[in-house]
Chain A
Amino acid sequence: MLSIKNLSASVDGKPILGGLSLELPAGEVHAIMGPNGAGKSTLSYVLTGREGYAATGGEVRLDGEDLLALNPAERATKGVFLSFQYPIEIPGVPAMTFLRTALNAHRKARGQAEMKAPEFLKLVGGKAAALRIDREMLRRALNVGFSGGEKKRMEILQMAVLEPRLAILDETDSGLDIDALRIVAEGVNAMRSADRSMLVITHYQRLLDYIRPDRVHVLAGGRIVASGGPELAHELEREGYDKYGAQAA
C-alpha cells in the first residue's frame, strides 16, 4: 500500500532524511522508533506535504500513486491522515464545524454529495462517545483551551470520521496520562482493518503495549537502520538507541 523508496529530504537546507526505504502492506501497523532528532517528525511532514519539508530525492507511492506530486489536501483526500504530535488550535472554528468541513471536502473529492447536519451529528455522536468526547467539547473552538488528552482524543475522532487509508500517528502518546493513553489506544485499535495501514511514530515503547505493531523499524540518521518484530521495541527499551546512533554516524 505505502511504498517509500530511497527518500531524501532537507529542512532549511539541512539534510534530515537520506535514503529512507519502507514498505507498509495493507492492513498492517508498523512502528517507527528512533532517538530525538532522527527525523521521525520530518518523515511525517514529508509524507503529508508540509511546506518547508520537500523531498529532495526518492519516491513515495500510495497504492501506486505518486504521493509527492500532490498538494497536502489532495494527499489527505487520497487517504493520508496525520495525527499531529502537537495539534494546532483553530480559534473561532467549532470542532464540529471543522470536522464537517473536512468530511465534506473528502466527500467532494470522491464525487459524493455533502453530508447534511443531522446525518453528520448522528455519525459523529457515536464515534465521539467512544472517545469520551461530549457535545460541549464539539461546540468549542477546535483545540482551543483543550488539555493534552482532549487534543489527542480529538485527533483520533477526526481519524475515525475521515476513515483514512493510511494513518500516521506522530508521538500520539506524548503528554498523555495512562487513562488517556488507554482511551486513545482503544480508539486507534478499533480502526485497525484489512484495508487500512498505520505508521506509529514513537520515541518510547510504552505506546506499543497498547497499539501492538506488526513490525518495528528503527529510524536513525535519516534512514531505517533496523527492522524486526514487536520484540525489537522491547530490546530498544532495554538497550536504548546508542548502538544505532553509532551505526548511523
Chain B
Amino acid sequence: MSLARAIETGDLAQLPSRREEDWHWTDLRGLIRALPALSTPIEGELAPGPFDALADRVVVIGNGRGPAESAGDGVTALRIVGRGEGAHAADHAIAVAPGASLVLLESHEGEGGHLAELDLAIRLGEGARLERVVLADEDAAAVVVSRAEVTLSPGSQFAQTVIASGARRERLEARIAHPGGGASARLDGLYVLEGQRHADITTVVTHAGMDGATEQLTKGVVRDQARGVFQGRIVVQPGADKTDARMGHHALILSERAEVDAKPELEIFADDVACAHGNTVGALDENALFYAEQRGIPEAEARALLTEAFLGEVVDRIEHEGAREVVRAWVAERLRGPRDEPVSGGRA
C-alpha cells in the first residue's frame, strides 16, 4: 500500500494506515477523505532552485512529470516541484557505475495543498560513491511522501542528509540494502518544524553481508503544535558479522504542545557486531540560555543561536561544501526569519 498506488487507482483503501506499524504516526488513511483530481502540468518558467548554481545538470520533475532517470556522475540538482491542489506521483532511477561518484542535491519545492509521492531507485556499483542531500521545503497544506530504495555494492559509500521543515504530512523514507563488504552508509536527518507541521523521517538499513558500516545522526527542533517523527531501523541479518552500526536521534521540544515520536530499533541476528543507539528528547539548556542573555543577547536571539548550534552538528557532516552552506543558511533563516503561517498555540 502506498500513496502512489492510491493516486494511480483512485482507491482510498490503498493509502498507508495506522494499522501498518511503519505508518503508525503518519496515518494517511485516517487523514485523507477524498482524493483530489490528478495534477495538471506546471505552466510557465520556474524560478531557480536552491542548488542550481552548484550543479552540472538540473533535472526537474514537476507535478509528477519529468525524466525517468538521470546520470550517475558529477553533481545533479534534482528538483521535485509541486504546484496546486492536485495529486501526482513519479518514479525516478539513478545508477552510479562502479568506481563513479555522484553528488545528488535534491530539492523538494512545494506550493499548494497537493498530494504527492516520489519514488527513487538508486543503485551504487562496486566502489561507487554517492552523497545525497535532500532539502524538503514543502507547503504547510501539502501531503507528500518521498521514498528512496538504495542498493549498495561492496566497497561503495553512500551518504545522505535529509532536511525537513514538514508539511500537513511529510514522510521522507529511505530503505538501504547493505551488502557489507566494506560498504558504508551515513544516513543523517534534520527537522525544524513549526505551526502544525508534521515531518516523518524513516530509515531502514538491512545489513546482509559481513563488514558493513552504518552511521546515523538525526536532530530536530519542534515548536508550536508541530510533530516530528523519527523511525530508524537497522537489521543485521544472520551472517552479517562484524557490522558496525550507530544511530543517534536528538530532539528539542520548544513548546508544550509540540511533540516528538522516536523509534530507534536495532535487530541483530549476527555475531561480533558493534551496534549502538542513543535517543534524547528535551528542552533548551536554561543555563546556557541565561549565560547568553547575561552577555546581552536578547532571549529570542539566544534561543535561535543555541538551537542553530544544536542542529549545526548535522549540517557540519554534509561533505559537499556548497550544499552545506545552502543548508546552513536555510536552517538559520528557518529559525530566525519571518514565520510563514499563523500560529494558534503558545510558543515558549
Contact = CB atoms under 8 A, between A and B. Distances in A.
- Is chain B found bound to chain A in the same assembly? yes
Nearest to B291: A88
Contact of A71 (B295, B299, B312): B299
Interface in B289-313: 290-299, 301-302, 305-306, 308-310, 312-313
A63 to B, nearest CB: 17
B286 interface: yes
Interface in A47-99: 48, 50-51, 71-73, 76-77, 81-82, 84, 87-93, 98
B299 A90 contact: no
Contacts, number: 70
Given A90-B288, A93-B309, A71 B297 contact: no
Contacts of A50: 290, 294
Contacts of A109: 296
B296 A105 contact: yes
Interface string A109-152: 10000000000000000000000000000000100000000000
A84 B296 CA distance: 15
A193 interface: no
B9 interface: no
A102 interface: yes
B295 A76 contact: yes
B306 A90 contact: yes
B292 A90 contact: yes
Contacts of B290: 50-51, 72, 88
A89 B313 CA distance: 16
A77 B293 contact: no
B287 interface: yes
B309 A90 contact: yes
B297 A101 contact: yes
A73 B297 contact: yes
A208 to B, nearest CB: 24
B306 A98 contact: no
Contacts of B288: 88-90
A48 B291 CA distance: 10
Contacts of A73: 293-294, 296-299, 302
Contacts of A88: 285, 287-288, 290-291
Given A51-B286, A88-B287, A105-B298, A71 B305 contact: no
Contacts of B297: 73, 101-102, 105
B312 A92 contact: yes
Most buried by A among B286, B298, B308: B298
A93 B309 CA distance: 6
Nearest to B313: A92
Contacts of B286: 51
Contact of B296 (A51, A87, A92, A102): A102
B294 A48 contact: yes
Contacts of A172: none
A162 interface: yes
Contacts of B292: 90, 98, 102
Given A50-B290, A51-B290, A162 B296 contact: yes
Q: Could you say which of A92, A101, A109 has the most chain B C-beta atoms within 10 Å of its C-beta?
A: A92
Contacts of A72: 290, 293-294, 299
Contacts of B305: 93, 98, 101
A98 B293 CA distance: 11
A77 B296 contact: yes
A141 B291 CA distance: 14
A158 interface: yes
A211 to B, nearest CB: 21
Contacts of B301: 101, 105
A209 to B, nearest CB: 28
A88 B286 CA distance: 10
A30 interface: no
Residue from A51, A72, A91, A162 having most chain B Cβ neighbours under 10 A: A72
A51 B293 CA distance: 11
Contacts of A93: 305-306, 309
Contacts of B312: 92
A92 B309 contact: yes
Given A51-B290, A88-B287, A90-B288, A102 B309 contact: no
A110 B291 CA distance: 20
Interface string B319-342: 000000000000000000000000
Nearest to B290: A50
Contacts of B295: 76, 98, 102, 105, 158, 162
B299 A106 contact: no
Contacts of A92: 308-310, 312-313
Nearest to B285: A88
Nearest to B293: A72
A93 B307 CA distance: 10
- Give the 7 A-B CB pairs with smallest separation, nearest first: A92-B309, A102-B295, A76-B296, A72-B293, A88-B291, A105-B296, A73-B293
25 contacts: A50-B290, A51-B286, A51-B290, A72-B290, A72-B293, A72-B294, A72-B299, A73-B297, A84-B294, A87-B291, A88-B287, A88-B290, A90-B306, A90-B309, A92-B313, A93-B306, A93-B309, A98-B292, A101-B297, A102-B296, A105-B295, A105-B297, A141-B309, A162-B295, A162-B296
